[in-house]
Amino acid sequence: MSTENTIKTITQAVNQGFDIKVNGLNVDTALNVYYDNTLVANTSLEPRNGKIGDAIITDKSGQARFVFYVKDSYDELIDKPESQFISTLNNDIGDKKLVVVDKSSITANNLPSNFKDISRCYAEVTVKKAFDIVFSDIKNYSGSKENVGTRKLTII
């Protein structure tokens, strides 16, 4: 009888931060940020001239500079099968779109497909994330520890 390994702890899970600099937008304009077509909460954004949670606003030259912290909720996978953990990571693989739009044009929780037509200004970039996972204490039903120390690099 085969029993699948489960994930018991996730340690050293570090949120990735992307330093974003956007030029050429409208001046003195409040912005919304969308990641993978979903509105990013201000608690994941840090303007370079402010603190986490402050509004992202362009300056007098139409530039916005901020750090976007990608927050992953992998703790919900504790005590779930290893295959579910790996599947969740693999679903994150691929190019993700980061879009900055003027707040006065778009405030929806999901980025409309016609955002380019309805926004006064926008910028779009593709971002990738990487995971370096080391299995440090895995044992399957037969007592084998074949995955211990195995590294899995996942780029998303």
pLDDT at 38 over 70: yes
Overall number of domains in the chain: 1
DSSP label of 6:
B
Percent of the chain with pLDDT over 90: 46
Which residue, among 8, 149, 17, 151, has the nearest Cα to 85 in the 3D structure? 8
pLDDT of residue 47: 96
CB 39 within 8 A of CB 103: no
DSSP label of 13:
-
Residue 111's CB is within 10 A of a number of other CB atoms, namely 22
pLDDT of residue 127: 79
- Whether this prediction's pTM lies above 0.75 is answered by no
Q: Return d(Cα 29, Cα 101) in angstroms, integer.
A: 9
Q: Quick one: pLDDT band at residue 111, thresholds 50, 70, 90?
A: very high
Whether residue 96 is contained in a domain is answered as: yes
Whether residue 146 is contained in a domain is answered as: yes
SS3 letters across 39-107: ECCHHHEEECCCCCCCCEECCCCCCEEEEEEECCCHHHHCCCEHHHHHHHHHHCCCCEEEEEEECCCCC
pLDDT at 16 over 90: no
The helix/strand count (H/E) of the chain reads as 2, 10
pLDDT at 87 over 80: no
The residue type at 152: K
Whether residue 130 is contained in a domain is answered as: yes
CB 33 within 8 A of CB 46: no
pLDDT of residue 146: 47
Whether residue 9 is contained in a domain is answered as: no
pLDDT of residue 134: 54
Mean pLDDT of 88-95: 72
Whether residue 97 is contained in a domain is answered as: yes
pLDDT at 77 over 90: no
The residue range of the domain holding 45 is 16-155
Whether residue 50 is contained in a domain is answered as: yes
- Taking only the tens place, the pLDDT of each residue in 116-154 is 999 999 999 887 766 555 555 444 444 444 444 444 444
- Computed on alpha carbons and rounded to an integer, the radius of gyration of the chain in Å comes to 20
pLDDT of residue 152: 46
pLDDT of residue 150: 46
The residue type at 143: G
pLDDT at 103 over 70: yes
Whether residue 129 is contained in a domain is answered as: yes
CB 107 within 8 A of CB 120: no
Whether residue 106 is contained in a domain is answered as: yes
pLDDT of residue 37: 93
Across the chain, mean pLDDT equals 78
